[in-house]
């Protein structure tokens, strides 16, 4: 159970704004990968929450008539990475958010939550700085847009006014057309770790591809908030693309960055790698820009009809705050427990139960349905032992509120069993390859394998390693797990 005072679930953007006005101490919860973890740690204990997780109008990536790329604030990292508009026009943003946590975190974490928490280490933030992104906010006064550089005020604080929620991130056409970029995240681990330093660079080359017409250099963890290296940018504009000039630009970033000492890294080390990352990212961004300009399809066409994006129409805007009736899903007047009726399908069977609004999906699956394959491990979304499949995607059920399961299709390890009680092919492969040791983490790992296998794609071993990176096995034995998944994948594909 989470220690919360009250939970309100918004039915619309207008409803969310109203709830925040009527409960000024309430905090917004989007995907919950930050809020629920901090609540578990006691930092937000006893808080009132306004959940906007059910507002599908805030999900999806579209292109407006003027070529602006609009990213709904509830769009998850994994959906950003896979989105055709992102891949075609601002692929570096997809690459950056694909480095957040593990796959389960990327399925629940949202770009709005990642920017609204105000931390300098957010992988999306430095890249959005490099794209000159705009932040759209909707509140009692209507809709306003501000540059992302003005959105960050200080460490942990952003410019969200009372009653406002972030509704979108906007990338204007002039910010991405003709630019190519690259992001490097330096961390102590390849997954499930925050950045020690992050560097994101976009460049535009001259028509002869020999000079930097423009460049934007942005950093995370190089100061209290994400930042641009404006002096280094000015130094580089107009310079020829040479090793010597790239080194010169990289040295200049020390005039801009202001990192601090921490247990993760010293100030001196961060200053050193700020130059190294700039040099490496600048080289790769220049290479990509050169390749882009040589590509036959370099028309810069940005028509909304080029790709189908079902979540929103190309020019649809968030609704205005109206007189719509407030809907409070759950509260705790007088400290009494509150419940919600949740209807969903679990392992193919229609279910309904009254759940405590403070409960996680792990609590519901274990306590109400005795699905004990869903393990209680870290309970902060790090170990993956509670991993289940929801509507075809893997989630850590410990940081997924049970009330959000309403209307969902949920699958656990128990659902893999055949009608005669037989094991599935992936379960048998884990036995054959000795991928099972103590067995505590195994159900969650197998459910990730199920999502991988059901994609019908063939992955390299390195790709499989990344797709399984949201799991921590204390017994080790990762190679055997990889063997089991790879063997089953090849067998299903007939290889």
Q: What is the CATH number of the domain that holds 81?
A: 3.30.465.10
In a shared domain, residues 238 and 90: yes
Highest mean pLDDT among 257-266, 334-343, 383-392: 383-392
- pLDDT category at 11 given cuts 50, 70, 90 is very high
The yes-or-no verdict on residue 191 having pLDDT over 90 is no
The yes-or-no verdict on residue 319 having pLDDT over 50 is no
The yes-or-no verdict on residue 309 having pLDDT over 80 is no
In a shared domain, residues 149 and 286: yes
Is position 175 within any domain?
yes
The yes-or-no verdict on residue 299 having pLDDT over 60 is no
Q: Which of 271, 306, 341 is the last residue of a domain?
A: 306
- Write the CATH number for 426: 1.10.150.120
Q: Could you give the number of structural domains in the chain? A: 2
Query: N- to C-terminal Cα distance for the chain?
Result: 46
Is position 39 within any domain?
no
Contacts 24+ apart (CB under 8 A), 449-453: 449/484, 449/485, 449/488, 450/389, 450/411, 450/416, 450/426, 451/389, 451/392, 451/393, 451/394, 452/485, 452/489, 453/426, 453/485, 453/488, 453/489, 453/492
Is position 357 within any domain?
no
Q: Which of 257, 279, 306 is the last residue of a domain?
A: 306
- For the segment 199-207, the average pLDDT, to the nearest whole number, is 97
The yes-or-no verdict on residue 311 having pLDDT over 50 is no
Q: Which of 281, 306, 331 is the last residue of a domain?
A: 306
Query: What's the domain range around 240?
Result: 59-306
pLDDT for res 468? 96
pLDDT for res 335? 42
| Span 96-143, pLDDT tens digits | 999 999 999 999 999 999 999 999 999 999 999 999 999 999 999 999
Is position 147 within any domain?
yes
Mean pLDDT, the chain, rounded, equals 91
The yes-or-no verdict on residue 89 having pLDDT over 80 is yes
Is position 52 within any domain?
no
pLDDT for res 297? 59
In a shared domain, residues 301 and 420: no
Is position 95 within any domain?
yes
Is position 403 within any domain?
no
pLDDT for res 345? 98
| Span 353-407, pLDDT tens digits | 999 999 999 999 999 999 999 999 999 999 999 999 999 999 999 999 999 999 9
Is position 372 within any domain?
no
| Span 216-237, pLDDT tens digits | 999 999 999 999 999 999 999 9
- For the segment 21-39, the average pLDDT, to the nearest whole number, is 95
CA distance 56 to 44: 26
């Amino acid at each position: 159970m989470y220690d919360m005072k009250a939970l309100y679930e918004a039915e619309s953007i207008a409803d969310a704004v109203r709830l925040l006005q009527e409960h000024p101490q309430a905090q917004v919860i989007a995907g919950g990968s930050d809020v629920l973890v901090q609540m578990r740690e006691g930092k937000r204990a006893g808080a009132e929450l306004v959940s906007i997780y059910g507002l599908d109008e805030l999900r999806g990536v579209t292109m407006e008539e003027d070529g602006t790329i609009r990213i709904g604030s509830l769009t998850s990292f994994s959906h950003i990475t896979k989105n055709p508009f992102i891949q075609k026009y601002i692929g570096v943003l997809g690459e950056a958010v694909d480095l957040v946590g593990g796959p389960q975190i990327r399925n629940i974490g949202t770009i709005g939550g990642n920017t609204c928490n105000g931390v300098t280490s957010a992988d999306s933030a430095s890249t959005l700085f490099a794209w000159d992104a705009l932040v759209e906010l909707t509140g009692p006064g209507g809709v306003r847009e501000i540059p992302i550089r003005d959105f960050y005020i200080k460490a942990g604080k952003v410019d969200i006014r009372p009653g406002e929620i972030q509704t979108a991130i906007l990338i204007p056409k002039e910010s991405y057309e003709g630019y190519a970029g690259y992001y490097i995240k330096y961390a102590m681990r390849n997954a499930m770790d925050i950045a020690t330093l992050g560097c994101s660079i976009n460049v535009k080359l001259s028509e002869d591809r020999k000079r930097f017409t423009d460049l934007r250099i942005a950093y995370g963890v190089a100061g209290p908030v994400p930042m641009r290296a404006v002096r280094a940018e000015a130094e580089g504009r107009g310079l020829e693309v040479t090793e010597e000039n790239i080194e010169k630009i990289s040295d200049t970033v020390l005039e801009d960055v202001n990192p601090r000492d921490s247990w993760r890294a010293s100030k001196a080390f961060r200053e050193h790698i700020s130059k190294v990352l700039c040099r490496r990212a600048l080289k790769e961004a220049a290479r990509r820009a050169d390749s882009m300009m040589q590509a036959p399809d370099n028309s810069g066409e940005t028509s909304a009809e080029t790709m189908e994006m079902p979540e929103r129409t190309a020019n649809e805007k968030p609704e205005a705050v109206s007189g719509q009736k407030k809907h409070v899903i759950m509260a705790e007047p007088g400290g009494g427990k509150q419940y919600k009726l949740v209807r969903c399908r679990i392992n193919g069977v229609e279910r309904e139960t009254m759940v405590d609004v403070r409960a996680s999906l792990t609590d519901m699956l274990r306590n109400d349905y005795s699905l004990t394959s869903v393990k209680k491990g870290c309970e902060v979304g790090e170990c993956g032992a509670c991993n289940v499949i929801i509507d075809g995607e893997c989630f850590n059920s410990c940081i997924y509120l049970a009330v959000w399961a309403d209307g969902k299709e949920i699958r656990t390890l128990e659902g893999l069993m055949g009608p005669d009680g037989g094991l599935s092919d992936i379960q048998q492969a884990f036995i054959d390859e000795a991928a099972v040791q103590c067995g505590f983490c195994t159900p969650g790992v197998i459910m990730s394998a199920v999502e991988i296998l059901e994609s019908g794609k063939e992955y390299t071993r390195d790709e499989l390693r990344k797709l399984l990176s949201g799991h921590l096995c204390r017994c080790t034995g990762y190679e055997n797990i990889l063997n089991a998944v790879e063997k089953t994948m090849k067998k299903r594909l007939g290889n």
